[in-house]
Structure 1
């Protein structure tokens, strides 16, 4: 979790040095042994207008490390399969976290983001996984938000009373998903995600198909937020959401808490 506010008004990454989470077997807690978590990542790499985007690396790697350290089995997939496009800003010097550097520098881990299976092979995943996690990056606004297979996957986890979690732009994957009764999943649920003011701060309000804060409120979600770049997470039953990349670690902790409930 970030220990300070995010660096500058552009809000691209956490400025504080982070202690690196162990990504090897030593130090495993194994409190979640037997639990299975599926992480669904974006495959989209362009904003409206053509600027490059993708997945924000910290939002994938920080939770992955915490999940595996706790002993959970974790699989990383993407919308189309193959290499996950990583937002270059999340890898830029001065912004990239030590944890991300270590992960991408380890061949036995780097391949997890370069050789993913497509979501189409996981249509029945709710039967064998205990939680679904949607990391963000602006790419999620374009594919996870509207892809029918992704929407059906979210709905199946929800209907099975499994944990559904998302951070930053990841909650875009909730906007089209419905409960079995036809209501939006977020209706009457406490929820958070990337705020309008954060989107404005990074200059992308006109480069995404919708503003997540507005959409979640429109769908009847009990939207909550804090100041730009402050870590903020909410757990409302089986739904766990986080406001921004700096919320990634705390979100992962809440997912593990929900799995242990």
Structure 2
């Protein structure tokens, strides 16, 4: 059975503040909805395993499809309450890894060696690496066996500096995705803020913002079905 590993954050507040953050619900739920429609199974992992907090702002941007996944007992249990720890994951079981967003990922995705090892292994067996919005942070620092950044020479996208400013978080986040991507040799592209935009470069599929989830998922599904 084809399976995809979904990566979610454990971070509950913006570092240095008491302001809540966490998983942006739609970035997991819409992806899950697309995978379910395509008959593709999903598992969930987070840097520490266990509980995944939701960014409360993301609850303002729901629809019937998102709420159907959110209310699914399986998603509640495996995707929010009891996610896998990286040590529980066998990369050989997965055809792709997908990094969700929400600002929390800016702190616990970029430098997690266990998640990086999982992604490297999936990439090594010709699997797909995917992300949306801030989830690109999970891909920015991964290096291959030769020490080269996996994103070097690749065209990617993610949450933009303009979108950070509009969200009021540009001075809060520890880095800007665009800047690190370019420093690590990637070609960072973007479209108008808060519009659907997804980029595929080989086995790397990335989306700009929360409105790009289904486009990322559909690109991935097309590849997995082939």
Give the TM bin, normalised by the shorter chain. Answer: over 0.9
Q: Helix, strand or coil: the match of 1:215?
A: helix
Q: Give the equivalent residue in structure 2 for 1:89.
A: 57
1:254 aligns with 2:214: no
Q: Is the 8 A contact 2:32 2:69 kept in 1?
A: no
1:180 aligns with 2:148: no
Q: Is the 8 A contact 1:47 1:53 kept in 2?
A: yes
Matches within 5 A, 1:194-205: 194-205=159-170
**Distance in 2, Cα, partners of 1:183 & 1:171:** 17
Matches within 5 A, 1:119-198: 119-122=86-89, 125-198=90-163
- The count of aligned residue pairs is 224
Deviation at 1:180, TM superposition (A): 2.6
Q: Give the equivalent residue in structure 2 for 1:68.
A: 36
Q: Give the equivalent residue in structure 2 for 1:234.
A: 199
Q: Is the 8 A contact 1:233 1:240 kept in 2?
A: yes
**Distance in 2, Cα, partners of 1:44 & 1:152:** 21
**Distance in 1, Cα, partners of 2:152 & 2:146:** 11
TM-score after normalising by structure 1: 0.82
1:43 aligns with 2:10: yes
**Distance in 2, Cα, partners of 1:105 & 1:64:** 13
Q: Is the 8 A contact 2:102 2:135 kept in 1?
A: yes
Q: Give the equivalent residue in structure 2 for 1:79.
A: 47
Q: Is the 8 A contact 2:29 2:70 kept in 1?
A: no
Q: Give the equivalent residue in structure 1 for 2:26.
A: 58
1:102 aligns with 2:68: yes
Deviation at 1:216, TM superposition (A): 0.7
Deviations 1:198-233 (A, max 9, x none): 011101112111111111111110111000001000
Instruction: For structure 1, list consecutive stretches of 5 or more residues without a partner in the other structure.
Output: 1-33
Q: Is the 8 A contact 1:159 1:180 kept in 2?
A: no
* RMSD of aligned alpha carbons: 1.3
Higher helix share: 2
TM-score after normalising by structure 2: 0.94
**Greater Rg over alpha carbons, structure:** 1
Deviation at 1:105, TM superposition (A): 2.4
**Distance in 1, Cα, partners of 2:16 & 2:157:** 27
**Distance in 2, Cα, partners of 1:40 & 1:80:** 11
